[in-house]
Amino acid sequence: LMNQPNQSRKGYLLVFLGAVCISFAAFFVKGAPIDTSMVAFYRLLFGAAALFLAAVIQGVPLKPPRQCIGMIALAGLLFCCDILIWHKSILYVGPGIATIIANFQVILLAVFGVVFLKEVLSWPQKLSAPLALIGLALLLGLHGQVLPEGTVKGTILALLSACFYAGYVLTLRRTQSVGLKMAPAANMAWVSLFCCLFIGIFCVGTRVSFEIPDLRTGLLLAALGIFCQSLGWLLLSIGLPY
């Protein structure tokens, strides 16, 4: 890492710090005693509000360029699918395993880089995929018949979430690379708002209650939105282009 240019090192550091913030999301989701889709809705609602506030404080333009709107909306839709499925997987396999499996998106991104961007993987990168699969097998147990009920379903959901997660990361990076790109805070605010709208439509369609039952739950949802969604993804969106 020290051999990288300064901007590249800055990108690695920001992505690392963003990943640390996001890594706490599963524990907030697990602790909120409401439907997981509603947790996702308020996560994005509070996150979008915090990001718009940050953009206003920074004094950056809020209006997205016309050529960026479609890509921003797509990022919101992909993250909507990712977060709804991942939140559900937490109920079956717990926050730890769900987070580990969802982060298999890094393998999918590496495959994308090789196939479509003609990137050349280093030997450590080539070894990481089989090691990760072996680790997953050891983590879950090699004999399906002795796994706790719901483990297989939760694992499948988390792996599906990883697919949407990978698509979201690629699209998010694209939103920060197109012409007339927005400031990171404003860009992530619009992505979060679009995602919130898609999740809200899903919640209305499935007749999930929007009620927050108590103050503790409200604080958990606010922390999830501000710390994990707003700060975490803001750091990631700044660091990814580097």
Answer whether residue 179 shows pLDDT above 60. no
Percent of the chain with pLDDT over 90: 43
Which of 62, 70, 164, 147 is closest to 109 using CA atoms? 164
Confidence at residue 133, expressed as pLDDT on a 0 to 100 scale? 82
The residues, ordered by sequence, that sit 6+ positions from 173 with a Cβ below 8 Å of its Cβ are 240, 241
Answer whether residue 167 shows pLDDT above 70. yes
Answer whether residue 196 shows pLDDT above 60. yes
Q: d(Cα 132, Cα 107) in Å, to the nearest integer?
A: 9
pTM above 0.85, yes or no: no
| 14, two tokens | 């920001």
The residues, ordered by sequence, that sit 6+ positions from 180 with a Cβ below 8 Å of its Cβ are 65, 67, 68
Across the range 161-180, mean pLDDT stands at 83
Answer whether residue 174 shows pLDDT above 70. yes
Whole-number average pLDDT of the chain:
86
Which of 87, 97, 95 is closest to 140 using CA atoms? 97
pLDDT band, very low/low/confident/very high, at 1 (cuts 50, 70, 90): very low
Answer whether residue 155 shows pLDDT above 70. yes
Which of 66, 51, 85, 74 is closest to 162 using CA atoms? 85
Task: Please tell me what DSSP assigns to residue 143.
Answer: -
Task: Please tell me what DSSP assigns to residue 144.
Answer: G
Confidence at residue 151, expressed as pLDDT on a 0 to 100 scale? 83
pLDDT band, very low/low/confident/very high, at 113 (cuts 50, 70, 90): confident
pLDDT band, very low/low/confident/very high, at 140 (cuts 50, 70, 90): confident
| 232, two tokens | 């975490």
Q: d(Cα 94, Cα 26) in Å, to the nearest integer?
A: 8
Answer whether residue 27 shows pLDDT above 60. yes
- C-alpha 61: how far from chain center: 24
| 19, two tokens | 């990943």
Answer whether residue 2 shows pLDDT above 60. no
Across the range 24-50, mean pLDDT stands at 91
Number of Cβ within 10 Å of residue 70's Cβ equals 10
Most confident residue range from 9-18, 95-104, 233-242: 9-18
3-class SS shares of the chain: helix, strand, coil, % to 5: 80, 0, 20
Answer whether residue 225 shows pLDDT above 90. yes
Q: What Rg, from alpha-carbon coordinates, does the chain have?
A: 18
Confidence at residue 4, expressed as pLDDT on a 0 to 100 scale? 57
Number of Cβ within 10 Å of residue 94's Cβ equals 15
Tell me the torsion sign for CA atoms 10, 230, 113, 109: positive
Which of 84, 89, 109 is closest to 101 using CA atoms? 89
Convert 142-158 to b/e letters by CB count within 10 Å (16 or more is b): eeeeeeeeebeebbebb
Q: What is the dihedral of CA 238, 72, 43, 83, to 10 degrees?
A: -100
Q: Which residue has the higher pLDDT, 198 or 136?
A: 198
Confidence at residue 145, expressed as pLDDT on a 0 to 100 scale? 59
Mean pLDDT lowest for which of 129-133, 188-192, 222-226?
Answer: 129-133
CA distances from 120 to 11, 60, 117, 128 (A): 20, 37, 9, 14
Mean pLDDT lowest for which of 109-123, 201-215, 228-242?
Answer: 109-123
